Amino acid sequence: MRVLITGGAGFIGSHVAERLTTAGHEVRLLDNLLPSAHGSSARETHSRADGLVLGDVRDTEVIGRALSGVDAVCHHAAMVGLETGPADTPAYVEHNDLGTARLLSAMTERKVERLVLAGSMVVYGEGRYHCSVHGVVRPGPRAAEDLDRGVFEPRCPHCGGLLESGRVPEDATTDPRNVYATTKLTQEHLVASWARQTGGHATALRYHNVYGPRMPRDTPYAGVAALFRSALARGEAPRVFEDGGQRRDFVHVRDVAEANLAALEHPPHGFAAYNVCSGEPRTIGDMARELATATGGPEPVVTGQYRLGDVRHIVADPDLTAKEIGFRARIGFTEGITEFASAAQRGAPD
């Protein structure tokens, strides 16, 4: 297949391009090389890259040119990270939702019928929780009074008891809790509507906490793994919020690229969403300690600080993804973190 990868010069997109190429597919990249994500020298660095169309997915002329002769699309172009306030909302909606709408319109016009969307676990909000009295429940935001007292586990909305966390399946109720998360869920809705209207095949891959080589540092794209590594590189102890017990699913970027290949080669009838995760939940504290060990750096400091609106636990059930598209992550946590500790990263914006 000839596959267009939007955002193809980015952290995840570049790994997807490499994996599809090794599998025998022809790839074309579309990227606007935003300085905020790539640095101000990125356009010069990438100017001679084979198969790169320089431009924005919101530009109908550019996207039409990029789709010429294409069989499928992996859509990774997006504005990511937490917004700083309501003033950021239009930019997120324009980049993520308007950009997706224009891509889908152009795909329809050119009869491109296969799409893989880079989704996110943020559409779930908090993870799956169980109350000993009321069974599976959906907690609301944690109260500042609890957090101030060091009570970090969510409470049952019915009885107020502390909850036990579990793995989130794809049919869990979605509950986006910030603008970025809302735009990611809207992308899924737009893609599902497109698939119903056109008979297209669309897969949303809900990425969990992706890390690995070429991960950006000191940008809005930097996840907690990159922030901890940057601290260790400065000789500082990673600072871990709350009690360090927040559970996440850290998945290596090469596994994410493998999931894209699986989704392209096993398209659904219509629309389907799948978790892309390791299936091995770890805590934020585990991540900090593993990186400190791998780099020989100072032990993490658990601060007890918190950010209102952060979710406590969000880990995924990998079974449906394995059953329906044949993907399971293969890179273990210690193996992946040890590699990441010394792997090249993308630099901060100039």
pLDDT tens digits along 100-157? 999 999 999 999 999 999 999 999 998 999 999 999 999 988 999 999 999 999 999 9
Examine the domain organization and report whether 21 and 151 are in the same domain: no
Q: Is residue 348 in a domain?
A: no
SS (H, E, C) the chain: CEEEEECCCCHHHHHHHHHHHHCCCEEEEEECCCHHHHCCCHHHHHCCCCCEEECCCCCHHHHHHHCCCCCEEEECCCCCCCCCCHHHHHHHHHHHHHHHHHHHHHHHHCCCCEEEEEEEHHHHCCCEEEECCCEEECCCCCCHHHHHCCCCCCECCCCCCECEEEEECCCCCCCCCCHHHHHHHHHHHHHHHHHHHHCCEEEEEEECEEECCCCECCCCCCCHHHHHHHHHHCCCCCEECCCCCCEECEEEHHHHHHHHHHHHHCCCCCEEEEEECCCCCEEHHHHHHHHHHHHCCCCCEECCCCCCCCCCCEEECCHHHHHHHCCCCCCCHHHHHHHHCCCCCECCCC
Predicted TM-score of the model (pTM): 0.92
Examine the domain organization and report whether 138 and 42 are in the same domain: no
Q: Is residue 350 in a domain?
A: no
For residue 133, the enclosing domain spans: 129-165
Examine the domain organization and report whether 55 and 158 are in the same domain: no
Residue 203 in this model has a pLDDT that exceeds 60: yes
Q: Is residue 249 in a domain?
A: yes
Among 150, 165, 180, the domain-final residue is 165
Examine the domain organization and report whether 86 and 193 are in the same domain: yes
Examine the domain organization and report whether 138 and 88 are in the same domain: no
pLDDT in tens, 322-333: 999 999 999 999
Q: What is the mean pLDDT of residues 7-22?
A: 97
Confidence of residue 81 (pLDDT cuts 50, 70, 90): confident
Q: Which of 110-119, 304-313, 330-339 shows the lowest per-residue confidence on average (mean pLDDT)?
A: 304-313
Q: Is residue 67 in a domain?
A: yes
Instruction: Give me the CATH number covering residue 79.
Output: 3.40.50.720
Domains in the chain, number: 2
Q: Is residue 183 in a domain?
A: yes
Examine the domain organization and report whether 122 and 241 are in the same domain: yes
Mean pLDDT of the chain: 92
